[in-house]
Amino acid sequence: MNLQLPARPPFSLNSVINSHGWARLAPFLYVEGKDNLGYIYRNKNGRVVKLNIIEHDNGVSVDIHGKVEQHELVEITAAVKWMLALNNDFSEFYRLTKNEPKLNHVEEKAQGRLLRSPTLFEDTIKTILTTNTSWTGTIRMTEALVNHFGEPIPGSTTEFSFPTPERISTSDEQTLRENTRLGYRAPYILNLAREVASGTLDLEALKTSELPGDQLHKQLISIKGVGSYAAANLMMLLGRYDYLTIDSWAIKMVSQDFFDGDPINPKDVERIFEPWGKWKGLAYWLWDWSDN
């Protein structure tokens, strides 16, 4: 089965894949240097299929490996559109970048779209798994969580979907610590899964929330295990660029680019990018730091 999905131009699948590290996290399937992206997708009815996505006619072609019904195609279409931000409009941002040498590459490369998971639940867990660890640690923990709690493609023993909140919620902290080695993150992941599974927390509603940025950020940061950096990252994935993902690397880069290497603090980083307004998070994310 194949889907042909258009994207708002300009579009580059390669730019989406390389927008950040998500393509390297299970259940995404990506081989460095290849121009296609795979994902093990679980439909809401429990059917697990493999998606293979390639760029095609200013959009994407999605090959679905596995039997699906018509209503499942509608669900998969919506999921892929969200994952690749196919409908997002960056024309205003592109206009603002034309006179900034550090950003005048973004329209030509069709940058701006950040690769997302089908659900905010998955993205929240993955974001929590990036905190206080190396990138290899994030990859390992995500793979362990998927392999232990995910559902396999029929007939496969190696390819699993991302686990549902319900599946994780039936576990316990000790199991999460021992089988997936999540460390201190285990109670956060377990609590999040239980809140989502019970309906106490409706994460997916935040995808279409019209709350002002500060209120949305407040909701995200209220999630146990989500700090200021993680909340800013989730805001970016929601297409809201009001906040900066400030870490030690950001402070170092801004210090070198704007302050001749002198010591600075997060407020200095905020001040530098404040003129970009609602686009400041994306301006920082796509800034050309290659001179540093």
Domain assignment present for residue 101? The answer is no
pLDDT at residue number 12: 97
Range of the domain at 269: 248-286
Domain count for the chain? 3
Average pLDDT over residues 9-33: 95
Q: Say if residue 272 is in the same domain as residue 181.
A: no
Average pLDDT over residues 228-233: 95
Which residue type sits at 62? V
pLDDT digit string (tens) for 92-124?
999 999 999 999 999 999 999 999 999 999 999
Domain assignment present for residue 18? The answer is yes
Q: Say if residue 173 is in the same domain as residue 72.
A: no
Kindly tell me the burial class for residue 176, based on how many C-beta atoms sit within 10 Å of its own C-beta (0-12, 13-18, 19 or more).
buried
Mean pLDDT for all residues in the chain? 95
Q: Is the predicted pLDDT of residue 292 greater than 70, yes or no?
A: no
Q: Is the predicted pLDDT of residue 78 greater than 90, yes or no?
A: yes
pLDDT at residue number 11: 97
Domain assignment present for residue 102? The answer is no
Residues 36-48: b if buried by 16+ CB within 10 A, e if exposed: bbbbbbbbeeebb
Average pLDDT over residues 48-75: 94
Give the domain CATH number at 184: 1.10.340.30
Can you give the pTM of this predicted structure? 0.96
pLDDT digit string (tens) for 191-210?
999 999 999 999 999 999 99
Domain boundary, last residue among 30, 62, 87: 87
Q: Say if residue 264 is in the same domain as residue 224.
A: no
pLDDT at residue number 34: 80
Domain assignment present for residue 291? The answer is no
pLDDT at residue number 101: 95
Taking the C-alpha atoms of residue 247 and residue 76, their distance in angstroms, rounded to an integer, is: 35
- Confidence tier at 257 by pLDDT (50, 70, 90): very high
Asked if the peptide bond before residue 10 counts as cis, ω within 30 degrees of 0, the response is yes
- Confidence tier at 55 by pLDDT (50, 70, 90): very high
Percent of the chain with pLDDT over 70: 100
Rounded to a whole number of angstroms, the distance between the first and last alpha carbons of the chain is: 47
